[in-house]
């Protein structure tokens, strides 16, 4: 098997395993959670967390699973994976001195960069869809029922945010040569954004407002994508990919 | 955008006013030359003289600021993909993907080439006793160099650009690589190679381009080297040249006898003749009582080291 394909499959598998490993116990914990939601609410130290619990309670198993799979796992680990997969995409080649070899073959830079972007994007997005697709089956173990379609719509919504983070990091990787610095900087930025979400008076300023529990519950209820959010996020990705192509064409190895 | 290959341009490298600047540093002043079709052309110069920048510019890895480069009749445009389809490039930098196995790395390097080039590269690597099943991280410096060389020599392209292909190799492997380069050039390939090993350039190149501070300062082909050699006479005076005053007197005497130039190099006086016939000067010198009897006479030889010294004013290493 081709080295690039093997590397992509391994990363996809690793991220999918991590997401599924978080999802399975979370789903199995649902009956316990449902029965003790009031007690848990009393234990929550700040208002934002209490509101989250309320949202879980109101939306039932679907709201709880969305909170666990998307708001918790994908927004934290998914963002980290997006940043880590993108940080080394081009800067990693410069850092280890292999960029000249990478570019010296008779393959256009545009093609090389788009392939690199697409393989990393698949590593981020595929596990989100794959693990979300297991939800309808997993919830049968706790005597609940969730349809596949709303889960896939939520996965698409979540993926648009992860792709925006991925594409932004990818752009910095295209113009930089220090993957560690790029990854660290972007991780700090996403942690800051997540922390902002948890601050009552600043929460409306956080990017994670675009992928929080009420939004996923609305998607599950309406069974429609929130295009007012998804399209601008996809546009952000397109802009960053375009900027990456422009920068990469002129890059000196 | 690609262009058709005209017969007259097939296998040639044509460069006109190619230049490149990095910030305030001029890595390559406007440079023009034409080489090929066929034969080995050596690119010589001290470190930082612009050899690698020129080679990278030719294959589109570095975008030239000005000028035009045409390889095998195809003009370098954009990122140079069309040019790279007609040539191979072995970079001087030796950083490979250490996690790949040797065979896998060859296939990776040969992406975009004709499929049977991989089999040829594997065969070449096996002939060089490279452990293709081992991961590249286990390779020595020389093994990595050979792997790159095999990938550059395997595709069927009219032009090969090799940046220090024998650097870090032991003498036997270096000989093997030079044999392959010579054989490939004999079959019609145009090869541009850079090297610091003057001996190997002496052996395989038919033309030499000398670079210094980003400029092409001299171009010599084997006939011009022969013509220069025909005006070089060396007289070995042994210990008579040990004393500086005596050496200076001998040089002055030779100049008076008609030599165009005379310098002492160790035990020998290197004489530049006014014509390509050494007999008048040799006759006059043998009749001159103030000159000692030479212990040896050498005529018609010009080493690359001397050529290098001529161009750069320093001894070649």
Q: What residues contact A132, with CB distance under 8 A and at least 6 apart?
A: A69, A70, A151, A152, A154, A155
- Under a CB-based contact definition with an 8 Å cutoff, are residues A219 and A229 in contact? no
The pLDDT value recorded for residue B314 is 60
Can you give the residue range of the structural domain that contains A118? 3-249
The pLDDT value recorded for residue B315 is 55
The pLDDT value recorded for residue B140 is 95
Nearest to B190, CA basis, from B69, B14, B317: B14
The pLDDT value recorded for residue B5 is 52
Task: Please list, residue by residue across B118-139, b when 16 or more beta carbons sit within 10 angstroms of its beta carbon and e when fewer do.
Answer: bebbbebbeebebebeeebeeb
User: What is the dihedral angle through the alpha carbons of A58, A59, A60, A63, rounded to the nearest 10 degrees?
Assistant: -130
pTM (two decimals) = 0.85
Other residues' Cβ atoms within 10 Å of the Cβ of residue B189: 23
The pLDDT value recorded for residue A236 is 98
DSSP result, B259-290: -SEEEEETTEEEEE-SSS--HHHHHHHHH-TT
Which positions in chain A touch B108 (Cβ < 8 Å)? 3
- Under a CB-based contact definition with an 8 Å cutoff, are residues B72 and B5 in contact? yes
Q: Say whether residue B149 is in contact with chain A using an 8 A CB cutoff.
A: no
Comparing B7-226 with B231-299, is the CATH topology the same? Answer: no
Nearest to A183, CA basis, from A73, A97, A251, A85: A85
Q: Least CB-CB distance to B85: which of A104, A106, A110?
A: A106
Touching B: A residues 67-126, CB under 8 Å: 96-98, 100-101, 103-110
The alpha-carbon gap from B112 to the nearest alpha carbon of chain A, in Å, equals: 6
Nearest to A148, CA basis, from A157, A159, A137: A137
CATH hierarchy code of domain B231-299: 3.30.70
Peptide bond between residue B37 and the one before it cis (omega within 30 degrees of 0) = yes
Q: Which residues of chain B have pLDDT under 70?
A: 1-7, 313-317
Q: What's the average pLDDT block by block, 10 residues per block, for chain A (253 residues)?
A: 85 96 95 84 76 77 92 95 96 95 95 96 97 96 94 97 98 96 97 90 91 92 94 98 96 88
CA-nearest residue of chain A to B80? A108
pLDDT in tens, A23-59: 999 999 999 988 888 788 777 777 777 777 777 777 7
The pLDDT value recorded for residue B313 is 67
Nearest to B43, CA basis, from B160, B169, B188: B160
CB contact under 8 A, B81 and A97: no
B316: left (phi over 0), alpha (psi -120 to 50) or beta: beta
Give B293's DSSP letter.
P
pLDDT in tens, B43-101: 988 888 899 999 999 999 999 999 999 999 999 998 899 999 999 999 998 899 999 99
Domain ranges in chain B?
7-226, 231-299
Which positions in chain B touch A114 (Cβ < 8 Å)? none
Tokens of B313: 């004013």
| CATH fold for the domain made of B7-226 | Rossmann fold (3.40.50)
Domain count, chain A: 1
CA-to-CA separations, B253 to A127, B29, B242, B246, B265, in angstroms, rounded: 88, 43, 17, 11, 16
Q: Say whether residue B150 is in contact with chain A using an 8 A CB cutoff.
A: no
What ipTM, to 2 d.p.?
0.85
């Amino acid at each position: 098997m081709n080295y690039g394909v093997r590397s992509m499959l391994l990363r996809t598998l690793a991220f999918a395993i991590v997401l599924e490993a978080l999802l399975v116990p979370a789903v199995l914990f649902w009956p316990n959670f449902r029965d003790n939601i009031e007690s848990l609410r009393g234990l929550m130290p700040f208002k934002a967390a209490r509101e989250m619990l309320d949202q879980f309670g109101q939306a039932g198993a679907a709201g709880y699973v969305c909170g666990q799979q998307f708001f918790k796992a994908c927004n934290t680990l998914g963002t980290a994976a997006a940043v880590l997969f993108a940080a080394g995409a081009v800067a990693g080649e410069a850092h280890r001195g292999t960029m000249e070899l990478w570019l010296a073959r008779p393959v256009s830079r545009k093609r090389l960069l788009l392939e690199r972007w697409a393989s990393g994007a698949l590593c981020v997005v595929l596990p989100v869809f794959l693990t979300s697709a297991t939800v309808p089956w997993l919830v049968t173990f706790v005597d609940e029922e969730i349809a596949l379609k709303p889960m896939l719509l939520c996965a698409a919504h979540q993926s648009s945010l992860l792709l925006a983070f991925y594409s932004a990091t990818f752009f910095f990787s295209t113009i930089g040569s220090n993957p560690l610095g790029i990854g660290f900087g972007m991780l700090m930025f996403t942690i800051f954004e997540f922390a902002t979400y948890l601050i009552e008076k600043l929460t409306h300023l956080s990017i994670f407002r675009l992928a929080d529990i009420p939004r996923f519950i609305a998607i599950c209820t309406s069974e429609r994508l929130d295009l007012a959010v998804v399209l601008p996020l996809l546009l952000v990705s397109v802009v960053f990919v375009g900027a990456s192509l422009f920068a990469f064409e002129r890059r000196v190895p | 955008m690609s262009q058709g290959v005209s017969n007259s341009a097939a296998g040639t490298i044509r460069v006109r006013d190619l230049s490149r600047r990095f910030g305030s540093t001029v890595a390559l002043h406007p440079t023009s030359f034409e080489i090929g079709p066929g034969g080995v052309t050596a690119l010589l110069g001290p470190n930082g003289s612009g050899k690698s920048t020129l080679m990278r510019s030719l294959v589109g890895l570095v975008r030239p600021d000005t000028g035009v480069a045409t390889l095998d009749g195809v003009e370098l445009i954009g990122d140079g993909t069309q040019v790279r389809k007609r040539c191979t490039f072995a970079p001087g930098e030796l950083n490979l993907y250490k996690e790949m196995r040797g065979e896998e790395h060859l296939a990776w390097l040969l992406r975009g080439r004709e499929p049977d080039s991989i089999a040829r590269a594997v065969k070449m690597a096996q002939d060089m006793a490279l452990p293709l099943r081992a991961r590249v991280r286990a390779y020595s410096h020389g093994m990595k160099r050979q792997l790159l060389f095999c990938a550059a020599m395997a595709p069927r392209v009219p032009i090969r650009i090799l940046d220090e292909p024998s650097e870090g190799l032991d003498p036997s492997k270096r000989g093997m690589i030079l044999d392959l380069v010579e054989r490939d050039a004999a079959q019609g390939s145009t090869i541009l190679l850079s090297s610091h090993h003057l001996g190997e350039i002496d052996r395989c190149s038919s033309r030499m381009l000398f670079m210094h501070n980003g400029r092409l300062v001299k171009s010599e082909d084997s006939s011009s080297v022969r013509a220069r050699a025909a005006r070089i006479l060396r007289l070995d005076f042994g210990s008579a040249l040990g004393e500086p005053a005596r050496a200076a007197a001998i040089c002055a005497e030779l100049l008076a006898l008609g030599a165009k130039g005379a310098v002492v190099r160790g035990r020998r006086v290197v004489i530049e003749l006014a014509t390509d016939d050494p007999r008048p000067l040799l006759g006059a010198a043998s009749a001159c009582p103030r000159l000692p009897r030479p212990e040896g006479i050498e005529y018609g030889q010009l080493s690359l080291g001397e050529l290098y010294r001529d161009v750069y004013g320093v001894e070649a290493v």
